[in-house]
Amino acid sequence: MGERCYYILAGETSADILAAQLMCAIKKNSSGPINWIGIGGEQMEQLGLTSYRPISELSVIGILDATTSYFALLQIAKEQVKQIIQSRPKAIFTVDTKQFSLKFAKLLRREMDEVGWHVPIIQFVAPTVWAWGAWRAKKFEEVFDAIFCLFPCEPPYFNAKKTDAIFVGHPEGYKNFQLNNEITSVSQLKKIDYIGLLPGSRRREIAFNLPIILKSAELFFKKFPKCRFILPTTSSLKKEIKEKVQKYHLPIEILEGTEDFEKSLSAMSAAICVSGTATLQLSLRGIPAVTCYKTSSLNFFLMRLLFKQKDPILPNILLQKKVYPCFLQSKQTSANLSAALIDIYNNIDFENNKMRKNSEFLQKMLRVKGENFESAIVHYLKKMNII
């Protein structure tokens, strides 16, 4: 069999990791070489992706940022559509990056109709219809042939006559978590308690949230001077994060890369974490945490206007209870975060037992029975003759 070409697009760090897992699943179940083209990050490029643009160009936060970046993103979308029409890949995958993916898919679908050529367009990670409203589902089902859903509550929102919405489970839900005693980047794991600091994976998230998280860590450290801190990040963000961290006199180890991220999670006794996928990763590992989120005033106003949930913390939404305390916008102060973290640390045995139970529920919820993450995806792709 000759070389197969696939187009794949991701616009942020968490999407880069998911896309890389999708690429691995396809590669393992395909015969012959694969040519990967699209837009992606470090993980995808390590698997052979030719990325036409830096992943950072697609990374925007909130409605306001997406609006102000509209014309730049539209130009990228048009450029990518042109590249696809020229390359004629066997399938197109858009991973998370939902606002851009929707616009991009609409343009691509229109161009495909004009040239009389069609291949499947698949969105990996459904829009958060359970958080923003069912109206988002209608927009996606009009342009995507299939939508791979990470959460079991999502497929019913989509019209089965228009698109295939398939629950494939969440890759984090399929993992078996154990304490890793061979952490090389973090020494003396059993003798020291490490507190995780997770300020987000986008530059603007970090700009809004990291300073307050570091001030909170300072207050916590005054009470517990034997503790140490871990801050996982990517190589592209490490330099600027290091510059911010150096302003504080704290024992913080900055780790980069997926392997070190996994190791750092295993080492954490507790954490301060910005809203996002990381809150789910912590909860699945049974790690107690304080969660928070801060953005621009206008972005927050729009979020409050449109968001259907009490807070944006995934474990809280999925389990429909307050798994993690959450401090948003003006309530995200160093005093509030440090006080909540101190309370958790003072009651760590109770918190660990509570989180262990939550972790068990989440793992069952985020798995397809009798499948693993790879097989759940591959089963459908084979059915569509994509691999």
Task: Transcribe 120-159 into DSSP letters.
Answer: -EEEES---HHHH-THHHHHHHTT-SEEEESSTTSGGGS-
Q: If we measure between CA atoms, which residue out of 199, 198, 182, 9 comes closest to residue 94?
A: 9
Q: What is the pLDDT of residue 304?
A: 79
146, β-bridge pairs:
122, 164
Q: If we measure between CA atoms, which residue out of 11, 8, 10, 20 comes closest to residue 259?
A: 20
Q: Is 290 helix (H, G, I), strand (E, B) or coil?
A: strand
The class that CATH gives domain 4-169+368-383 is alpha beta
Query: Is the pLDDT at 31 greater than 90, yes or no?
Result: no
pTM: 0.85
Name the token pair of 329. Answer: 């916008």
> Where do we find the tokens 């006080």?
339
Burial bucket for residue 310 (CB in 10 Å: 0-12, 13-18, 19+)? exposed
pLDDT per residue as tens digits for the range 96-144: 989 899 999 999 999 999 999 999 999 999 998 877 677 789 999 999 9
Average pLDDT (192-210) is: 93
φ/ψ (deg, to 5) at 31: -105, 140
pLDDT per residue as tens digits for the range 85-95: 999 999 999 99
Residue % of the chain over a pLDDT of 70: 93
pLDDT per residue as tens digits for the range 50-103: 999 999 899 765 555 666 688 999 999 999 999 999 999 999 999 998 989 999
d(CA 27, CA 25): 6
Name the token pair of 204. Answer: 């603007």
What CATH number does the domain located at 194-365 have?
Answer: 3.40.50.2000
Query: Is the pLDDT at 328 greater than 90, yes or no?
Result: yes
Annotated domain spans of the chain: 4-169+368-383, 194-365
